[in-house]
Amino acid sequence: MAFKLTGEDACKKPLPTPIPNPYWVAFSAASARLIDLSLGRDNLPSDPTWLEVLAGNNPINHSEIFPNPISTAYSGHQFGVWAGQLGDGRAILLGEMAGQELQLKGAGKTRFSRMGDGRAVLRSSIREFLCSEAMYALGIPTTRALSIVGSDLPVRRESVETAAVCARLAPSFIRIGHFEHFASLQNTPRLKELADLLINEHYPECKQSQNNYLDLFTRICERNATLAAQWQSVGFCHGVLNSDNISVLGLTMDYGPFGFMDQFQIDHICNHSDQGGRYAYHRQPQVMHWNMACLASAMMPLIELTADVDEAEKLLRSALEQFPLIYAKTWQSLFRKKLGLASSLDRDMDLIERLLQAMHESRIDFTNFFRKLSDVKAGATVDQIPLRDNFINRPAIDQWFSDYLIRLNEESSDDLHRKQRMDEVNPKYILRNHLAQVAIDKAKEKDFSEVATLLRVLEKPFEEQPQYESYSYPPPADLSRIEVSCSS
């Protein structure tokens, strides 16, 4: 198991709390292949006891498969404020299979639940399950979702809902908060043990570095800078980018009040609990950078093992300054690809920024615009482009399309090859909130067919799938303002 730290300051050994009469809500065959889990014809585990295991109902602490389930302690900053010790309040790590950690979310109280009940609800479990697999299909690093097991057990949130347990997979669930935890306790031996574990199992290239802990920090920054750029490129908002929700492997994790934008809004807030807009779309890169600064502070004692305080600060500051450079380079590359530009010119940034500003002002559907942009022919005239009709400021967008056509004609590839390239990076299908809500509403009536259908669609986001064309449509007016919160 990747998280091998032991002791009172590292982890506790909880026993999952059984749920009555569990039943399958959803299952990902693709994720099951990651752990070599044998499936039957119905794409469910061929061994029926897995329903009980993934519900948290087996006496797992006596199981030969998962003898030592744990929940881990971590600390962190929440909405920019130090929150002290947190920990896996509703997550129980069962163990490792085929290099993947298997974790149950919602399987009952742990030592770190504080005032919580340790449960997850059907609504939030469906959203996390679908988005985890959707993000993977989009090519964005993420934890994976294996299953949802439901129960009629009542759970109180903003209203009374029913319980569900979501099984998650990742090479490791270690987060920035784990480093912050040991740093806050001034427990440098444990901090070093954690960093060494991470290097040995996930960053072996750091072993060859002259300063392996600084190199580890640098590589974590690189991964998360790239991740933030990838989120921006598909219009994804995480919702709660607290430092304890940030993976040190650069994975999207802890899906709560997330959302893919429908109408593009630069300052879009997907979490109605975020009244100050700290985690709005346009602030995600800045906040991720801030979280890397939290990690730098936590790793400071490790850098001081081979350098004095001033030198350690200088080294970490220099490494941290690379974050915005890596982010900007990745972001520019991704948006050039979205526009179908194979070459790179300095004026491309002006073209991209003007387009996003125009989309913001006219609230253009982010996903559909870029998908349909591949239909524009380099030899077209501006008045032959239907997309312009959706913009309020016609003179401005006409000028933009005029400049875009000039830019396309500077490229060497033909329209067909450019369209193929664009359709490989501009998805047709994303997990829109209204689609998730339809699936949730049906699931509440014990109809899980829409969850399965959405999974099939989202597993192939770049394909046309004509039978599911309606799943690419923007939300109807009555479903365009679905709100999610930290309980989602």
Q: What is the pLDDT of residues 258-305, one digit of tens each?
A: 999 999 999 999 998 888 899 999 999 999 999 999 999 999 999 999
Of the listed 215, 244, 254, 262, which one is catalytic? 244
Check pLDDT > 70 for residue 488.
no
- Kindly report each contact of residues 85-89 with a partner whose C-beta sits within 8 Å and lies 24 or more positions away, as own/partner: 85/112, 85/181, 85/184, 86/112, 86/177, 86/244, 87/111, 87/112, 88/112, 89/113, 89/114, 89/116, 89/118
User: Can you tell me the mean pLDDT for 182-204?
Assistant: 97
Residue 52 CA, distance from chain mean position:
27
DSSP string, 234-303: HTEE-S---GGG-BTT--B---SS-EE-SB--TT---BTT-TT-TT-GGGHHHHHHHHHHHHHHHHHHHH
pLDDT, one tens digit per residue, over 400-413 is: 999 999 999 999 88
Check pLDDT > 80 for residue 5.
no
Q: What pLDDT sits at residue 486?
A: 58
pLDDT, one tens digit per residue, over 379-436 is: 999 999 999 999 999 999 999 999 999 999 999 889 999 999 999 999 999 999 999 9
User: Can you tell me the mean pLDDT for 357-370?
Assistant: 98
Task: Give the chain's mean pLDDT.
Answer: 94
CA dist., res. 393 & res. 362, Å (int): 8
For residue 295, CA distances in Å to 55, 185, 246, 263 come to: 34, 15, 10, 34
Establish whether 244 is a catalytic residue: yes
Closest CA to 194 of 73, 323, 111: 73
